[in-house]
Amino acid sequence: MTATPLYNRTQQVFALNIFSNYAGNKKAPVDDLQNDLTKILNALLTDSRMQRYIGTWQVVWGPAVGSYGKDITRQVASNALYVAKNQDDTYVVATSATNPISTYGWLTEDFDVQNMVVWPGFENADPAAPRISNGSNTGLEHLLSLESNGITLGAFLKQTFENSNIAKDLIVTGHSLGGALSACLALNLLNTQ
């Protein structure tokens, strides 16, 4: 029997979210950043001291790291995303914050808030259709296009939730840029389930 973690569920989710940021503040090809994040997540989630606080979690999709615009040539991560699952069938989608050295993250995904676009799925709707900032929409598109082993997040969640009769909780989390994108991602996943 596993001991009850010292952290409550909110603290566990926050810790898992913080881990998504470990691809940031580094320069390397995107595959190397992704491999490093994979190693860091595996080390953190299998560490018995960490498990004492957050419980037992495993990465079940990702991590996926994306680099866009000038971040590609600068070899820095624009976004990172992964899904962890615990023994209670709680799934956490963790979205990274703004990478401090990502020009694209700051200038495009964070600061492009003046230009509004129609919320995905409402493109042919009336002028009163819901809208989203272009920066958040761009970030959402990037998150939805990220793949792990050739599978997008949406396809992974669809397979996971459709093929099971067990009730599962899905939590989408982030802070900073990830906070804005996680809310958009959660709504998009709900709209397209």
Residue type, 154: G
Homologous superfamily (CATH) of 9-191 is Alpha/Beta hydrolase fold, catalytic domain (3.40.50.1820)
pLDDT in tens, 125-144: 778 889 999 999 999 999 99
Q: What is the mean pLDDT of the chain?
A: 94
Residue where the block lists tokens 């860091």: 40
Please tell me whether the peptide bond between 120 and the residue prior to it is cis, using omega within 30 degrees of 0. Answer: no
pLDDT at residue 69, as a whole number: 96
For residue 39, is pLDDT > 90? yes
Mean pLDDT of 150-176: 91
Rounded Cα distance between 68 and 31, Å, is 13
Q: Residue 131: CB partners within 8 Å, gap ≥ 6? A: 116, 117, 118, 119
pLDDT at residue 163, as a whole number: 78
Rounded Cα distance between 63 and 70, Å, is 22
Mean pLDDT of 173-183: 96
pLDDT at residue 2, as a whole number: 64
For residue 28, is pLDDT > 90? yes
Mean pLDDT of 7-36: 97
Percent over 90 (pLDDT), the chain: 88
For residue 124, is pLDDT > 90? no
Residue type, 101: I
pLDDT at residue 1, as a whole number: 44
Q: Do the Cβ atoms of 53 and 5 come closer than 8 Å?
A: yes
Rounded Cα distance between 31 and 72, Å, is 11
pLDDT at residue 118, as a whole number: 92
pLDDT in tens, 64-121: 999 999 999 999 999 999 999 999 999 999 999 999 999 999 999 999 999 999 998 8
Residue where the block lists tokens 């995107």: 30
Mark out the alpha helices in the chain (DSSP H runs): 9-19, 30-46, 48-54, 70-74, 103-104, 134-145, 153-162, 177-191
79 forms bridges with which residues in the sheet? 66
Which tokens is 98 given?
């703004």
